[in-house]
Amino acid sequence: MGALLVFIGWFIGLVFAANGIAGLVIALIIWGIMTLVAYFQGDNILLSVAGAKKISPSDHQQLYDVVEEMKIASGLEKMPDIYIIDDPSLNAFATGRDPNHAAVSITSGLLQKLNRDELQGVIGHEISHIKHRDVLLMSMCSVLLGTIVILSFYASRMMMFGAIFGGGGGGGRRGSSKNSGGGGGAAIIILVLAILLMILAPLFAQLIYFAISRKREYLADASSALYTRYPAGLASALEKLEQSTTPVKNATQATAPMYIVNPFRNKLNVNNLTSTHPPLEERIRILRSMAGGAAYANYDQAYRQVKNTNSGIISPQSAAAAGTVGLRAAVAGGPVEPPVDDKVSRTRDVNDMMYRMNDYKTIECECGAKLKVPPSMQGSMIKCPRCGRAHQA
């Protein structure tokens, strides 16, 4: 994969050299700056654009516990930071250039929808991205992709300019301004080449990028199964994502500028699944077909079975290294609540956490209603819309 990317870079560089080395130097500088920004600032930019808030254990004990369990199961040395994004859509992603500067982010919507087993499956998936340094890999890949897009655009412009005004072979500066008869054929060839390059290079780069991304997604699913020893948890979470109709809030505005410099691929996102992620339905079927154990070998076997192929997705070495791991039973969490009550409690807990974090004040009115008042309205008199009683907020 890397070799192909290098080849594209080299090929574009070659074409550039014909027109002048300056373009290549400029492009390389752009690449260098984008890489540095992605490396040192990528997470901060991403997290502030996404409106993420860092939480402490007391804000949401269950989420903290689940992240800690997955941190231990994966063998990570440092506990990642945990962020909540106030967004009704269902989404989660990992950030961080290395395992010591990592964070897991989850939307309030997803946190409301998932039970403990499902949450563990999703967090296991994200922890795998951190553990396997996918975030850095994918951000470097996306920077390279972005650079190729810029390079090929710039290269084809230069060549068209050269072809039209330069009368063929030479660049604009060296060529004469009048067209000679012999230069016409060469100009057309260069023009065709330029258009082909402009169309093909970014597409090619994107395909490689998606292929790498998909492979990391399978590995993260396999790791989640291994860490949780309960593939049904992630499978069930993915089913909820599949059914969700809520689109990602401001998805385009918030994420499009980040695309070039940011690893916005390492997430469970319904909207992006068609491109960077394998189809959800297939991932669910693989997880559901895991039989006999939760090890990489079991995932690999399920993968071959579902994809009807002989080539697995996990390298034999890592499959062997992980050994055999048994499946566990579903978590029996105290008294069994009807699913809908459970869902209501989860929603109220997550929403109340968001209100606390945004400094809302809660007033319990005698009529049975609870009023939750934002900071801007605190200090004024609030009338309960249900019974009309006045309260000092």
Partner 1 sequence: MICPVCNKDMFVIEYKRVELDYCHICKGAWFDAGEMELLLETAGLKDGTQAVHDVLKLPEAHTAEKKRRCPICGKNMKKVIIGGEKGVMIDACFQHHGLWFDGGEVADLMKIVSEQAGCKKETESEIMCFLKDVFQG
Residues of this chain that bind partner 1 (CB under 8 A) = 88, 109, 112, 243-247, 249-250, 340-341, 343-344, 347-348, 351, 355, 360, 367-374, 376-377, 382-388
Q: Is the dihedral of CA 46, 50, 53, 55 positive or negative?
A: negative
d(CA 220, CA 34): 26
Nearest distance in Å: CB 246, partner 1: 6
Choosing from 69, 77, 118, 126, the catalytic residue is: 126
DSSP states along 348-384: HHHHHHHHHHTT-EEEE-TTS-EEEE-GGGTTSEEE-
Is 281 one of the catalytic residues?
Answer: no
134 within 8 A of 266, measured Cβ to Cβ: yes
d(CA 86, CA 53): 8
Nearest distance in Å: CB 269, partner 1: 16
Phi, psi values for residue 103, rounded to 5°: -145, 150
What Å distances lie between residue 4 and 15, 206, 209, CA to CA? Answer: 17, 12, 11
Nearest distance in Å: CB 358, partner 1: 11
The DSSP H or E segment spanning 81 is strand 81-85
What lies within 8 Å, CB to CB, of 254 at 6+ separation is 49, 50
Nearest distance in Å: CB 383, partner 1: 7
29-66: b (≥16 Cβ within 10 Å) or e: ebbeebbeebbeebbebbbebbebbebeeebbeebbeb
Between 109 and 183, CB nearer to partner 1? 109
For the record, the structure tokens of 159 come out as 């060549």
Nearest distance in Å: CB 280, partner 1: 17
d(CA 227, CA 391): 50
Between 133 and 391, CB nearer to partner 1? 391
Show which residues are catalytic: 126
